[in-house]
Chains A and B, each alone.
Chain A
Amino acid sequence: MRIELVKRPQRSALFSVLSPFIAFALTIVAGGIMFALLGVNPFSAFEIYFVEPISQLWQLHELAIKAAPLILIAVGLSVCYKANIWNIGAEGQFVFGAIFGSIIPVMFPGFEGPLVLPLMLLLGMLGGALYASIPALLKTRFSTNEILTSLMLVYVAQLFLDWMVRGPWRDPQGHGFPQTIQFGDWAVLPQLMPDDGRANWGFVFALVAAVAIWLMMSRMLKGFEVRVLGSSPRAGRFAGFGFNKMVFFCFLLSGALAGLAGISEVSGAIGQLQPVISPGYGFTAIIVAFLGRLNPLGIVAAGLVLALTYLGGEAVQSALGISDKVARVFQGMLLFFVLGCDTLIHYRIRLIGLALTKPNGAAKLDAAPKLEEAR
C-alpha cells in the first residue's frame, strides 16, 4: 500500500483558522500519554504544567519575560518566511545582538547617563543585523542555501560568546566564573511595574514590533513586495521588485529584531553576559512563527503559549521531578502537529491499493476484471 498526498482544489478557510487550536489539542492528548507513560497522573501534571505557572500576578510577569524574546524574534522570522527566505539562525543573531549591545556596559563601564540604554539597544540591533547579513551575502553572491549557513552560524555565535566571557570579557573580580561584570544601573532595562513582578520593557518592544510588522505586511507596499516575491518570484521580478534586495531586507530586519531581543534579555533579565543566555529562544521562535500562522498578531498569542511551555517545564521539574526536557518535547510536538495540520489543509491523503501499483499486475489486460474486484 502506498500513501499519496493529493492537492486539494480549495483550502478551507475555517480550518486554516482552527488548525493551531487543533494542533494544540493534539499536543495535549499526546502529552497526556507521555505523562501517563512517565507514571504521572496526566490531569495533575497538566495542572502543574499549564495552570499553576500563571495563577499569580508575579508569574504573569515571568510569562511576559519569556514571551518577549520569542515574539520579537518570531515577527522578524515571519517576514522572512512569507518571502520564502529561510532564516533558521535567529539564535545566533540573538547572541550577537547581546554581545554588541554589551560593548558599552562591559568595555566602558564608566560611561553613564540616559544615552547608555538606547545606544545599547541600537548596537544590539546592529549586531544582530550584521550577523544576519552573512547568510544574506552568501546567498546573493554565491547562491548558498541560507538554511544551512544561518543554522551553522548559530554554533559559531554560541562558541564566540563562550570564548568572550571566559577570555577577554571575563570579570576580573568574578572568582574565575565565566561571566562579564554586572551591568551598571544605566545599562539595565527598567522593569514595567517593579511592585508586581520582574517584567521589563522588552515585552513592550515585542508588542510594538508585532503591531508595526503587522501594519507593514497588511497595509504597506513593502509588505506586498514581500508577499509577491514569496509566492511567485518571477511575478515579483516582473513587478520590478529585486529578489536580492529582498533577501537582505528580510535578513537585516529579522536579525535586528533578534539582536534587540538578545540585548533586551541580557540587559533586562540577566544583567550580565554569561556562556548561555538563551534556552533556545531563536529556535523556539520558529515554532511561534508557524503557530501564529506567520501573522504578527497571531504570533503574540503563540509567543505566550510557547512561553508557558518553558514555565511549565520548570514547574514539573520542581514539583514532579520530571526532566525539564519535557518543555522541548512539548514544543516539538506542537510544531509537528501545526505543520501536520497545515499539510492536511493543503492536501488530502489518498491510499493506493497494492495491486494497482505492481508493475506487471496492472499491465496485463486480462487482469483488469480482478483489479475491479480488488478495489
Chain B
Amino acid sequence: MSANHDGANLLEVRGLTKIFGTLTACNHVDLNIAKGEIHALLGENGAGKSTLVKMLFGSLEPNSGEIFWDGKPVKITSPGVAKKLGIGMVFQHFSLFEALTAAENIALSLNDGSPIGTIAAKARALSYSYGLPLDPESLVGDLSVGERQRIEIIRCLLQTPQLIILDEPTSVLTPQEADKLFETLERLRAEGKSILYISHRLEEVKRICDRATVLRHGKVVGHCNPRQETAASLARMMVGNEVKAVVRAPAEGIETAPALLEIRGLTRKPATPFAIPLKNISLAVRAGEVIGIAGVAGNGQGEFFESVSGEVLQQDAGSVRIRGKDAGALSITGRRLMGAAFVPEERLGHGAAPRMKLSENLLLSRHATDGKAFVSGGMVKNASVYSAAQRIITAMDVRKSAPDPEAAALSGGNLQKFIVGRELDRRPSVMVVNQPTWGVDAGAAAHIRQALIELARSGSAVLVISQDLDELFELSDAIAVMHNGELSQPLPIAEATFEKIGLLMGGAEPGHAEHRMEVA
C-alpha cells in the first residue's frame, strides 16, 4: 500500500451502480471512508446496503462506477483481491464449518499453509488483546452465536485489514455482548483502522459512528454526523417519511381470561448434532394478550416454532394445548383446524412457495381450514380463492405489479404483509409468529405490529418470537426469554427493561437477574 496521508480517504467510491434485471439495486452511489473512522451505512432492508458492500468485497461485479483505494483506481474482482488490498469483512450470516474447530476454520480461510498450531496461538493472542476471548480449540458447533461472531472477527483481523466491513453485527448479540463489541471497534479506530458499519439500529449508530451515509431505494439520500441527529431524524432519512407509531391499548382482564395456547413441559431432543434441544418449556398465552419471546438467534426459537406449529410432532400430546385441548400429537393441519395460525420466519420457501401465485399461496395454509369455501370434491374453487386473496391484498395494503403475481415477485415487506394477512383473515384464536417484521420496511412493520395487537385485543392469544427487542417492547404485554433451549418466566412489560431482558438473553439465571436489578 502507498504512503498514509493523515485524514485522507482510504476508500472512495464514485457512481457505483449495480443492476439486477429491472431492479437497480445501487444507483450511482458515492461513498468516502476516511482513515480511522467508523462510518455507518444506514438504510432499510432492500435499500441496497448489502449489494454495495458485496461490490466492495468483490463478491459482486458493478455495472459501472469507480472504486479508489488510497487514491488509486482499483477493480475488486474477487474477495481474494479485496483481502489483498486490505479489506476484511464480517458477514451477517457466518460462513463457518460447525464440525471444525475455530482454529481450523481460520486456517481454511487464511489458506497460507502455516501450521494450525501457529494459527491457533496467533488467534488466541489477538483475541485476548482485543478483549474478545476465544478458545481456538473449541468446536464451532458448541459455540454460541456471539462466540462464532468472534471467530469471524478474529479471522478478519488476522489478515491485518485497513478497512473492516461489519454487516449488522449486533443483530445476533445480547445488549451486553454488543457493548463489548463496541469497545473493540473503538480500539480498532484508535489504531487508525477504518470500519464500515452496516446497521438499521439507530441508537447504536448514534453511539459509535463518526459519519453516516444513508441509502434509500439504491440511492444515497444523505450524509450526516449521526451524533448530531436524533433517532427520529435518522429514521426519517432512511424511510423518507414519518413512520406511524404503533398504539398498544392496555390489556384488561387478562388474568381471568382463559389460556388459549398452553405449552407444558415441552422437551425435544436435537434432531441434528447442531440443533438446539428444547428443555422443559412451559408457557401460557391467554385470550387478549401478546406474549413476546426474546432471544439471540439460534437459541432454539426455530425448534420451538416447529414444535408449536406441528411441523414436528410431540410424543407427549399434552405438551402443546390449544383452546384447552391436547394438540401435541396433531399435525399442523390438525392444529389449524383447532383455531391456531402460524407465520414462520422464512417467507420464501417456508411461509410461501416462491414460484406460485399469491392466490395459490393463500391455499397453502388454508386448504383445510377453509375447505368448504375453497375446495369442493377435491377440486379447487379458483374463483373464491382468487377473491379471498384480493380481499387480503386490500386489507393489508399489499403493493404489487400484477393482479395475482408470484410470491417471489413481491418485495419482502409486501409478501410478509400478505402472509400475516392470510392468517389474520381467518380470525384465528391462537396466532404464533416467528420474526413478524424481519427485513420488512418500517412502514409495513408498523402495519403488521398494529394488526397483531388488534388481533389480541379482539380476544385471541398472540405469541411473537423475535430477535428485535424494540419490536417486542412495542408489541408485548409480557416478554419471556429463550436461551439455549430454555424459556424464562414471562416478565410483565411494566417490569421489563432492556437490561433485564439482555441479561436473560445472555444466559443469566432469572432470579439472579432480578436480584441484580433490585440492588442496582
Contacts and interface: CB of A to CB of B under 8 A. Distances in A.
B380 A368 contact: no
Given A9-B20, A10-B21, A224-B363, A238 B378 contact: no
A220 B378 CA distance: 5
Contact of A240 (B69, B355, B368, B380): B368
Nearest to A239: B364
Interface string A215-248: 0000111101001100110111111100000000
A371 B76 CA distance: 12
A362 B333 CA distance: 55
B379 A219 contact: yes
Given A228-B364, A238-B365, A239-B365, A362 B81 contact: yes
Most buried by A among B311, B348, B350: B350
A38 interface: no
Given A362-B78, A371-B75, A228 B379 contact: no
A231 B332 contact: no
A14 interface: no
Contacts of B367: 221, 224, 239-240
Contact of A356 (B77, B336, B364, B378): B77
B70 to A, nearest CB: 9
B351 A9 contact: no
Contacts of B311: 237-238
A13 interface: no
Given A220-B378, A234-B346, A240 B333 contact: yes
A270 to B, nearest CB: 37
A220 B74 CA distance: 57
Interface in B309-342: 309, 311, 331-333, 336, 342
A365 to B, nearest CB: 6
Interface string B351-389: 111111000100111011000000100111010000000
Given A9-B22, A221-B367, A365-B72, A235 B351 contact: yes
Contact of B349 (A10, A219, A234, A363): A234
Contact of B350 (A220, A221, A238, A359): A238
Interface residues of B, number: 43
Given A219-B380, A224-B363, A363-B81, A235 B349 contact: yes
B368 to A, nearest CB: 6
A260 B333 CA distance: 35
A111 to B, nearest CB: 36
B273 interface: no
Contacts of B354: 231-232
A263 B363 CA distance: 39
A372 B78 CA distance: 16
Interface in B12-38: 20-22
A237 B309 CA distance: 11
A224 B360 contact: yes
A235 B81 contact: no
B380 A221 contact: yes
Contact of A363 (B80, B350, B351, B365): B80
A219 B72 CA distance: 62
A240 B382 CA distance: 20
A228 B380 CA distance: 14
Interface string A298-328: 0000000000000000000000000000000
B156 to A, nearest CB: 18
B344 A238 contact: yes
A238 B344 CA distance: 9
Contact of A368 (B73, B365, B375): B73
Contact of A220 (B22, B80, B81, B380): B380
B379 A231 contact: no
B22 A228 contact: no
Contacts of A240: 331-333, 336, 367-368
B353 A232 contact: yes
B361 to A, nearest CB: 8
A235 B419 CA distance: 12
Most buried by B among A234, A240, A356, A362: A240
Contacts of B309: 238
B77 A362 contact: yes
A222 B355 contact: no
Nearest to A368: B75
A235 B22 contact: no
Contacts of B512: none
A234 B352 CA distance: 9
A368 B331 contact: no
A232 B349 contact: yes
A95 to B, nearest CB: 32
B268 to A, nearest CB: 17
Contact of A228 (B78, B336, B353, B382): B353
B84 interface: yes
A228 B20 contact: no
Contacts of B350: 232, 234-235, 238
A362 B344 CA distance: 43
Contacts of B81: 362-363
A13 to B, nearest CB: 12
B46 to A, nearest CB: 16
Contacts of B333: 240
Given A10-B21, A219-B379, A238 B351 contact: yes
Contact of B80 (A9, A221, A227, A359): A359
Contacts of A8: 21
Interface string B254-296: 0000000000000000000000000000000000000000000
Nearest to B78: A362
A371 B22 CA distance: 28
B355 A363 contact: no
Nearest to B360: A224
Interface string B56-88: 000000000000010011110110110011000
B80 A235 contact: no
Contacts of A371: 75, 77
Contact of B84 (A234, A236, A363): A363
Contacts of B69: 365
A174 B500 CA distance: 91
A356 B354 CA distance: 34
B491 to A, nearest CB: 31
A221 B375 contact: yes
B239 to A, nearest CB: 27
B56 to A, nearest CB: 16
B384 to A, nearest CB: 13
Nearest to B349: A232
A235 B332 contact: no
Contacts of A235: 349-353, 364
Nearest to B72: A365
A228 B72 CA distance: 52
Contacts of B382: 219
Contacts of A224: 360, 363, 367, 380
Q: Which 8 pairs show the lowest CB-CB distances between chains A and B? A: A9-B21, A240-B333, A232-B353, A235-B353, A239-B364, A240-B332, A232-B349, A234-B350
8 contacts: A231-B355, A232-B354, A234-B346, A235-B353, A238-B351, A240-B332, A365-B69, A365-B74
Given A227-B356, A232-B350, A365-B85, 20 more contacts: A9-B22, A219-B379, A220-B379, A221-B363, A221-B367, A224-B380, A231-B353, A231-B354, A232-B348, A234-B350, A235-B352, A235-B353, A238-B309, A238-B350, A238-B364, A239-B365, A240-B332, A240-B367, A362-B77, A371-B77
Interface of B: 20-22, 69, 72-75, 77-78, 80-81, 84-85, 309, 311, 331-333, 336, 342, 344, 346, 348-356, 360, 363-365, 367-368, 375, 378-380, 382
